[in-house]
Amino acid sequence: MSYLKGMIEEMQETEGKKHKQKKVIICILAVLILMAAGFLGYRVYANYKEEQFFKSVKLREIKVKPMTLEHKEKDVFTEAYQKESQNQIDKQKKKDYTIQKPMVIQNAYGTNTTALYYYGKTDRASYAVCTVEAPDAGAAVYKHTLKGKKKYSTTHEYQIIGLSAGTRNKVTMEFFNEDGRAVEKQYFYVDIPEDDVIPRVLKKTKGSSSQKMEDGLFALLGHDKAQNANIYLYDNNGVNRGRMPLNDYRTDRLLFVGDDMAYSYDFNKIAMVNRLGKVTKTYDLGENYEFHHDFLYAEKQNKIICLVNDKKQDTIEDIVISVDVKTGEVKELIDFEDYFKTMRLLAYRPKKNTYGGTGLDWLHLNSMNMIDDDSMIFSSREQSTLIKMKNVFEKPEVDYLIHGGTIYNGTDYKKYLLKKEGNFVGQAGQHTISVEHDKSLPKGQYYLYMFNNNYGYSATIKNFDWSMFPGTGTMKEGEKSMYYKYLVDENKRTYKLVQSFSIPYSPIVSSVEHLKNNISFGSGTSKTFGEYDKDGKLIYSFYYDADKYSYRVMKYDFEGYLFRE
């Protein structure tokens, strides 16, 4: 009996434990259910609040009065000037600026007269889309996604370009999160004073093409004079959108090197400018060299290649140097006199050259472009010749010449001439030679395109047979200049004209440039710039005010620099 009683008691004890365990489990489950319900309720509430927030985001006006900075130093491109700017900005940053109440400074670093420095913080990581409008001036809508340090950020620091001088500008800032939902929308107005220095566009002409113009701003380079020539920016309606001051020399183009923009600002100096407009570094070519006509960036070598004059020599516009972006080292790459001694010796020396000096302008290099990592094409206006040099950075050699006349007859240079295929008049006094590679072409083939001035004059080659170039104009008059595009076949050593169309005549200077789908142009002495479609039909052209001309007009979209690509 005692044994049976023990078993019953043990069973009862076990049942009790199970019952207790069951109660514990039930309690735990209840707690978990309550927690889940609470969490779910919280999430529902949080989602509701979040949704309410997004619904509350409406475009609204904020009041902004751009600040201006004070400087003792007047030269924008000095370290002292940039330090003065940065110190004042850093002091202001200590205040509590948000995207609802941002810090806005006009021309903070002195590099763009109508640009705004924008700074503000938010607690929601986002990116910014900026729209600049100046409807009273007839400006085109200028809308872009701004480039920041990060793709999504709680700190927003930008340079806003594209404001127009002499009118009221509306700046709209929209901020979006990772899901593309707006977290803030605002606009403010900025009145930019009139800037009488900026040349006026006097006439806008619509062409026969219905193609849209490419996004970007036209940059007038070298307006009327080489010295103290600013960079002037214009939109697709021909409305001014800013002025970039220079010191004592025009710049011939804008380069984009890493995250910075590079351009010359003096006879022998280059500036690197970051996305905020701050000058971060400058390069000095030294006392012996001074710029002329062109420079470019060789990415593989990380060098800026420059056409220069060597002031120690009695010739001009025949030297090529490199500037190491990392170290600033300046190195001479090519002295063309070493490779064309006979042409140099045969050259007639006028009493004065094009610029009124006595240096012999026997070659007059006016543009260049990279063909591949170590080969380059150069344009000689004086000889109406395109010159390919290979092994540029190690041991330069002449590879080929493209010339439609007879100036090389009886010389050793004739062997370098590519054979012309087809019946067409060769380029004469051309500018802005450029290379275009096409994946559909076999190896050894590529395109060269240029502004063919169609100008028949050479001051230093008295026996130049211009009868080989029918239709060329003079300095005073000419029927037309041309866009020329050659197909070069290095394997066959040939070239042929594959596309051409008329451009307003300019005997000197001028430019053409391939954009994504269109072709921009600047015709110097015609004082016009604009855009053609890929078939050579005019979309729009603009006639501007000038005593003489602008050296070049190039178009830039600033993608990857100021704006996201």
The sign of the torsion formed by the CA atoms of 449, 450, 455, 460 equals negative
State the fold for domain 60-192.
Answer: Immunoglobulin-like (2.60.40)
* pLDDT (tens digit per residue) in 147-183: 999 999 999 999 999 999 999 999 999 999 999 999 9
pLDDT of residue 52: 73
* Pick from 223, 324, 315, 307: nearest CA to 268: 307
Over the chain, what is the mean pLDDT?
94
Burial class (CB in 10 A: 0-12, 13-18, 19+), 9: exposed
| Residue 50 pLDDT class (50, 70, 90 cuts) | low
State the fold for domain 293-556.
Answer: Neuraminidase (2.120.10)
Q: What is the C-alpha separation between 320 and 335, in angstroms, rounded?
A: 7
DSSP single-letter state for residue 407:
T
Q: Are 421 and 495 in contact (CB under 8 A)?
A: yes
Helix H or strand E encompassing 24:
helix 2-56
Stretch(es) of the chain classified as CATH 2.120.10: 293-556
pLDDT of residue 9: 61
| Residue 229 pLDDT class (50, 70, 90 cuts) | confident
Strand order in the sheet with 279-284: 255-257, 260-266, 269-273, 279-284
Rounded to an integer, the average pLDDT of 40-55 is 65
pLDDT of residue 225: 72
| Residue 268 pLDDT class (50, 70, 90 cuts) | very high
| Structure token digits, residue 234 | 């214009």
pLDDT of residue 395: 97
Residue 206 has pLDDT above 80, yes or no: yes
What does pTM read for this prediction? 0.92
Residue 24 has pLDDT above 80, yes or no: no
Stretch(es) of the chain classified as CATH 2.60.40.10: 60-192
Rounded to an integer, the average pLDDT of 422-433 is 99
* Residues contacting residue 98 through CB under 8 Å, at least 6 positions apart: 120, 121, 122
